[in-house]
Amino acid sequence: MKTKVLALTVLVLLSMSSFAQVSEKRFGFEFGSGASLAISKPGETELKPGFGYEGIFHYRFMEHAGIYGGWGWNRFGADNSFAGDEVCFEETGYVFGLQFKHPVGKDATSYYVRAGGLYNHIEIEDSEGDITHDSGHGMGWQLAAGLDFQLGKNWSLTPGIKFNALSREVENEGINIPLELNYLQLRVGINKKF
């Protein structure tokens, strides 16, 4: 009799746990923005600190693991470059990858790590805002980590840091110029689960 009661209790607890996981939201949309710092010199150009943003959708397919995908934009100014003076380097395109997110103790705070790919391009704009060079889209990669602070039901604040790496090239006066754009971004995001 004790074995049946114990088995029934375990079964009830497991089904309650399973039900709780099913009721958690699996989808989310996150919008993040922040300051960017180039750690490479694309085309031997010294870039000023920049700014960017990213909007990504999440889908959690396991308790702590999920996928993400979205679009991002970053802009860096430059006083002097092979493309002229007072230009801007803009990196835009798509991001996708895997995310691992885990609670910190019993608190409403979690940490996350992400690893993914980029399908981006680099545009160079002159001082008037006209595009003078476009690298075309190509593959790169991204790493990110941060915290997720619950703000209330289905909302959270997501500060973190990310690293983007993209290698492209542009043609300038018949010469191919390699553009290695690697940068860090300190970001703050807001996430809505649904």
Q: What is the pLDDT of residues 130-160, one digit of tens each?
A: 999 999 999 999 999 999 999 988 999 999 9
* Predicted pLDDT at 139: 98
pLDDT digits (tens, 9 = 90+) for 69-91: 999 999 999 999 999 999 999 99
* Predicted pLDDT at 63: 94
Q: How is residue 98 written in tokens?
A: 């895997």
The pLDDT-based confidence of 108 (bands split at 50, 70, 90) is: confident
Residue 101: closest CA among 54, 142, 72, 60: 60
pLDDT digits (tens, 9 = 90+) for 43-55: 999 999 999 999 9
Locate the DSSP E strands across 5-108: 27-38, 50-60, 65-81, 84-103
Provide CB contacts within 8 A for 74, sequence distance 6+: 36, 50, 51, 52, 90, 91, 92, 164, 183, 185
Is 15 a residue whose pLDDT tops 80? no
Q: Which domains does the chain have, with CATH numbers?
A: 25-193 (2.40.160.20)
- Burial category of 183 from C-beta neighbours within 10 Å (exposed 0-12, middle 13-18, buried 19 and up): buried
The pLDDT-based confidence of 92 (bands split at 50, 70, 90) is: very high
CA distance 181 to 48: 13
* Predicted pLDDT at 22: 45
* Predicted pLDDT at 156: 96
Is 24 a residue whose pLDDT tops 80? no
Is 9 a residue whose pLDDT tops 70? no
**Minimum mean pLDDT range among 14-18, 73-77, 168-172:** 14-18
Average pLDDT, the chain: 90
SS3 content of the chain, % helix, strand, coil (to 5): 15, 70, 20
Q: Cβ atoms within 10 A of the Cβ of 89, count?
A: 26
